[in-house]
Amino acid sequence: MKRRKFLKATGISLGGLTLVGAGAFFAAKPKGKSSAYTPTFQTLNENLKNYRRAIPELIIDLDAVDKNIEALQKLIPPNSQYRIVVKSLPSVELVDYVMAQASTHNLMLFHQPFLSHISEMANEQVDILMGKPMPVKTVEYYYDTLIVNNGFDPSKQLQWLVDTDKRINEYIQLAKDKNLTLRLNIEIDVGLHRGGYADLAALKKALQLIEANQEYVTFSGFMGYDPHVVKIPKMIMSAYEAFEKVKDYYNACIDLLKTDFPSLYHEDLTFNGAGSPTLAYHANGDSPCNDLAAGSCLVKPTDFDIESLEQFSAACYIATPILKKYENTQFPGGEKMTGLLNLWDSKMENSYFIYGGSWMADYYEPQGVEQNMIFGKSTNQVMINASDEANLEVGDFVFLRPHQSEFVFLQFGNILAMRNQEIKEEWSCIRNV
């Protein structure tokens, strides 16, 4: 009990930062052991150690990506087409790879710098749908700075998303001022309540605006994003019930279009929906959507370890080298406790400092390695702990799984594409400025 009281009373000061609650951490800390790499990551570790440099790297497992593409294609009904969510796969080479493997030329973009970069490189086959409305000033900037090298034509291949009458009018005025023709896809609120037209009367006015200004804008379809289907607590509504509501409203919007605006309707309209979490719900063939978007499921960061994506596998990792190793674990001011901490947790047998840290990610390999919560976070050198069984040395790599891809990937700039644990190519992330 004396030891427990001492630890609870102890605060550790690091450069003016006091880390309190150490006692509560250690008192609750279970005993545990680390383990060595699994064979796959042992091979990957050795290959990375032989690579031309040792820094934090973002790894893409192409073997897993291939299997995920196969799983995705099984969920796309014959009457629908697949659209790649580029923010979730933010590398031109990775997007090109998925386009080829999945036989699609349809992209969804969410960021003007990405749009400008892709427009510069895209050919005449690519179709781009914006996944969120852009401020009119940003749209104007896009056209003012547009560079086209491979035949991309925004007037035929780019759909701007609009969510309000005000935005539609702004886009119409921009088209008049710039002598442009803009394709407009209308966002409808299918239950997420994050924007878009939530009732048919309001949607009718929006369609009337477009119909009256077809010299400047053309109607290209609807977009109804539905991630709430798998997130609503089951005690409120089942996922099945939520998806039925999505379909009912989406179908009502299409019926309104066909009945009241026959001049706007044609067979090539884009009725977009889904997203990785709800892709499986659209697979039955009765979805009103003919255009299904997904991206994260192809690399499956941890935020997508959900029931509806069980058939997909993790395909992205962070790998970072160990810079320093110390036997036992020491804290400034707590040197007398060195070695005693092992009684609480065998992982304290070794402390390491890795290159970088504080990513949105979970430690993955070797299993049982974990960040030292008392020493705290660092974007420069994080302390991690592992028992002797992990058998880690300076120069070995520690592997983490990102929580998401769209932000984490961009922190690395480059991506290592690997197959059979061997580095095959080094890809770049999409230009973000």
What is the rounded radius of gyration, in angstroms, for the C-alpha atoms of the chain?
Answer: 26
Q: What is the pLDDT of residue 368?
A: 85
pLDDT tens for residues 96-117?
A: 999 999 999 999 999 999 999 9
Q: How confident is the model at residue 373 (pLDDT cuts 50, 70, 90)?
A: confident
Percent of the chain past pLDDT 90, that is, above it, reads 81
Phi, psi of 189 (to 5 degrees): -90, 100
Residue range 176-196: average pLDDT?
98
Mean pLDDT of the chain: 90
Q: Calculate the dihedral angle through the C-alpha atoms of 380, 386, 388, 389, rounding to the nearest 10 degrees.
A: -120
H or E element, residue 164: none
Q: What is the pLDDT of residue 313?
A: 98
Q: What is the pLDDT of residue 23?
A: 44
Residue range 27-39: average pLDDT?
67
Higher pLDDT, 350 or 169: 169
Q: What is the pLDDT of residue 345?
A: 62
Say how far apart CA 66 and CA 63 lie, in whole Å: 5
Pairing of strands 397-402, 316-327: antiparallel
Checking if the pLDDT of 332 tops 50, the result is yes
Say how far apart CA 324 and CA 330 lie, in whole Å: 13
Q: What is the pLDDT of residue 104?
A: 98
Classified by CATH at the fold level, domain 62-301 comes out as TIM Barrel (3.20.20)
CA nearest to 320, candidates 396, 408, 233: 396
Q: 277 preceded by cis ω (within 30°)?
A: no
Q: Which CATH class is domain 2-57+314-428?
A: mainly beta
* Predicted structure pTM score: 0.90
Half-sphere exposure of 259 (CA within 13 A, CB side): 8
Residue range 402-425: average pLDDT?
95
Say how far apart CA 361 and CA 298 lie, in whole Å: 17
Q: What is the pLDDT of residue 236?
A: 96
pLDDT tens for residues 43-76?
A: 999 999 999 999 999 999 999 999 999 999 999 9
Phi, psi of 186 (to 5 degrees): -95, 125
Residue range 131-148: average pLDDT?
98
Question: Domain limits of the chain?
Answer: 2-57+314-428, 62-301
Q: What is the pLDDT of residue 431?
A: 84
Checking if the pLDDT of 18 tops 50, the result is no
Say how far apart CA 346 and CA 353 lie, in whole Å: 18
Q: What is the pLDDT of residue 342?
A: 55
DSSP H helices in 89-153? 92-102, 112-121, 136-144
Say how far apart CA 195 and CA 193 lie, in whole Å: 6
Give the lowest-confidence range in 165-179, 188-202, 320-334.
320-334
Residue range 323-334: average pLDDT?
77
Checking if the pLDDT of 8 tops 70, the result is no
Q: How confident is the model at residue 5 (pLDDT cuts 50, 70, 90)?
A: very low
